[in-house]
Amino acid sequence: MARRKLERDPQAELVAYSDQEPSAFASMLGGLIEANIRSNPAKLEDFDRLVARVGIFVTDIEEGVTLDFKGGRLVVHNGLEATRTITIRAEAETVMSLSNLRIGPLGMPIYFDEVGRGVALKLLKGRLKIDGLIPNVMTVNAVTRVFSVT
Amino acid sequence: MMPVKAFSEEWASAFKDEVNRSSTYKSAAKGWKWTVGLVVEAEPDKHFPESRGVVMDLFDGEARDIKVGPAADAQKCDFVITAPYSRWKEVATKQLDATKGMLQGKLKLKGDLPTIVRYTKASQEMTECTTRVPVAWPDEN
């Protein structure tokens, strides 16, 4: 992750879509992240530092998006693009529960409450797969913070 | 319970009772304080000739009121979910999961996304409540 401080126009575009017609899933994730970072300065700081290409594939609707975080800007692509840092594969319900993970001290996701235990169990059972997790744990945590609505 | 006409006042009343009977909804929707509108778009070929709006006054785990009226009333709510009649029928008959439907764009959502995502469990239970109301579907008569 590159670290840099940005001076930014509050109206500046934070999220863009690479496709002329973003899929509903792409619009929803892009919209969710934009609302999160605009309403929470701590999430905006994470967003400004985050450089990673994150794939999210929803297995039960067979739809994916690529979130290309470019340190203060996000480009959302329909489908899974090549050369991703991490790729999350899970059912729709699990993807939604990822955004309900609470963030605890030191910015770590909490895995011991009801939502956290559910997510951890799915990870253990292979119903939530994160390709590239081990070498990119800090990136996964930063993405979780940006994605989290709590 | 006798089946009620789809998206009628009787349906709204039965739906409200189901929501208020649900302890799952009551706890999952604690803190919810926004109105929700469902726009059911007309499909004349399915014997649903005019769009209707379902206006739900939901507060802190309780359905205070659920009314059926013009689509324009539902469009004024804080959160608006829009879909054609047959899609809503798929949701109410468990052929379409509402979360998946929203991610696929089959149900169109307008409103603050972080808030609705925070209450995913409540909205799933609300969908469950619709499936428990026996309905007489106009395209099945």
pLDDT at residue A5, as a whole number: 53
CA distance B97 to B95: 7
Angle in degrees, CA A130, A17, A14, rounded to 5: 90
Q: Report strand pairing: B79-84 vs B35-41.
A: parallel
Q: What is the number of helices (H) and of strands (E) in chain B?
A: 7, 7
Asked if the C-beta of B72 comes within 8 angstroms of chain A's C-beta atoms, the answer is: no
- Cβ distance of B102 and A35 shorter than 8 Å: no
Chosen from B97, B100, B115 to mutate, greatest number of chain A CBs within 10 A: B100
**How does B32-46 read in b/e, with b if 16+ C-beta sit within 10 Å?**
bebbbbbbbbebeee
**Nearest by CB: A25 against B103, B118, B124:** B103
Contact list in B for residue A60 (CB cut-off 8 A) is 100
CA distance B75 to B55: 9
* A68's tokens: 């290309």
Contact list in A for residue B106 (CB cut-off 8 A) is 24
pLDDT at residue A7, as a whole number: 64
- B22-44 pLDDT, tens digit per residue, is 999 999 999 999 999 999 999 99
Walk along chain A (150 residues) in steps of 10 and give the mean pLDDT of each run: 58 91 95 93 94 96 96 96 96 91 86 91 93 92 91
pLDDT at residue A104, as a whole number: 86
- Cβ distance of B105 and A25 shorter than 8 Å: yes
**Contact present, A85 and A132 (Cβ < 8 Å):** yes
Contact list in A for residue B120 (CB cut-off 8 A) is 93, 96-97, 100
Query: Which class would CATH give B4-125?
Result: alpha beta
pLDDT at residue B76, as a whole number: 97
Closest CA to B85 of B133, B45, B41, B140: B41
Contact list in B for residue A96 (CB cut-off 8 A) is 99, 117, 120
CATH architecture type of domain A15-147:
2-Layer Sandwich (3.30)
**Contact present, A50 and A83 (Cβ < 8 Å):** no
CA distance B63 to A93: 24
Could you state, in order of their start, the residue ranges of all structural domains in chain A? Answer: 15-147
Q: What is the pLDDT along chain B (141 residues), one digit of tens a residue?
A: 789 999 999 999 999 999 999 999 999 999 999 999 999 999 999 999 999 999 999 999 999 999 999 999 999 999 999 999 999 999 999 999 999 999 999 999 999 999 999 999 999 999 999 999 999 999 986
Report the amino acid identity of residue A106: L
Question: In degrees rounded to 5, what are phi and psi of residue B52?
Answer: -130, 160
Angle in degrees, CA A90, A88, A80, rounded to 5: 105
Beta carbons within 8 Å of A53's beta carbon, 6+ residues apart: A66, A67, A68, A69, A81, A83, A84, A85
